[in-house]
Structure 1
Amino acid sequence: MGGAHLPPDHSLGDETTVGGYAAVHARPAAFEGADGMSYSVELCADATGDATAPVGGYLLFLRWRRVGEQGVEGHLETDFIVRGDDETAVLRELGRMPLRTVKATLDALIRKSDAGVPKRKWWDVMRDDD
């Protein structure tokens, strides 16, 4: 069963930022990467190991399967983009990142990684679908 469509609530934030988009649309932002694959983005925080800024925020991009059953087939993540004392404040600051910057960050990660190179050749995909 598919999910119900919820109309956007523009009173919840600025949909041109990654955090605002998630609030307004009640779902993560999604992009087509430079490799042609579909990605969604999550805001994440973790310990930095630095006593002066113990919490760091980063972007986690989930790459969605193109062929076969729906699901995640890989991911990319940034280094810490925002650092601070408090997870809530770090995620709030990270959420202010403009969507165009998030997309540019995704494309840069794809170009730097093996994600831009298909793991399977088209003929292997066709054979596996039979």
Structure 2
Amino acid sequence: MSGQWLQPDHALGDANTIGGYMRVHARPAAFEGSDGLSYSVSIEVDATGEAARPFGAFFLFPRWRRIGAQGVDGHLETPFLAWGESPGVAREALGAWSISDTRQALEDAIAALVGDAPARRWWDVMKDES
């Protein structure tokens, strides 16, 4: 799968926000997590079941494979981080988050996943055993 470079169109938004970045670059942002793995990000919306805040937006971070064929091998997601009376309002509210705040949300999701897991990554252990 090859990539395609597109000229950014800064007239479409503020590339310093996650929603603006996606519009300006016509692709999702990508990050390397503190776990050494690669993630991209999308803004998703779902019903909350709450009358006062019927829709909530959250980040979904697909995790990309390190070895083998290119593809997604898992994901992380945040709880609802923005709300609105419609899916579009909730999506726009979360899209206004800065790139750095979005990255921090990824790091928080990684930290929550790690929890009590060993601090050493499997590939570090493999290096020590050889």
Q: Which amino acid aligns with 1:47?
A: A
Does 2:95 match 1:102?
A: no
Partners of 1:122 and 1:60 lie apart in 2 by: 25
What is the root-mean-square deviation in Å for CA atoms of aligned residues? 2.4
What residue identity is the alignment partner of 2:79?
Answer: D
Partner of 2:9: 9
* TM-score under structure 1 length normalisation: 0.87
TM-score relative to the length of structure 2: 0.87
Q: How many angstroms does 1:5 deviate by?
A: 1.3
Are residues 23 and 117 of structure 1, via their aligned partners in 2, closer, same or farther at CA, if it must alter by over 3 Å? farther
**How many residues are aligned here?**
126
Unaligned runs of 5+ in 2: none
Task: Give the match for residue 128 of structure 1.
Answer: none
Q: Is this contact kept in 1: 2:83–2:89, CA < 8 A? A: no
Paired letter, 1:79:
P
Match of 2:64 in 1: 64
Aligned-residue identity in percent: 48
Counterparts of 2:123 and 2:110 in 1: how far apart (Å)?
20
Deviations along 1:70-125, whole A, 9 cap, x unmatched?
0001111111011121111110111000000011111111011049869x9449x9
Partner Cα distance (2:123, 2:105) in 1: 27
Paired residue type of 2:3: G
- Corresponding residue for 2:80? 80
State the one-letter code of the partner of 1:63: R
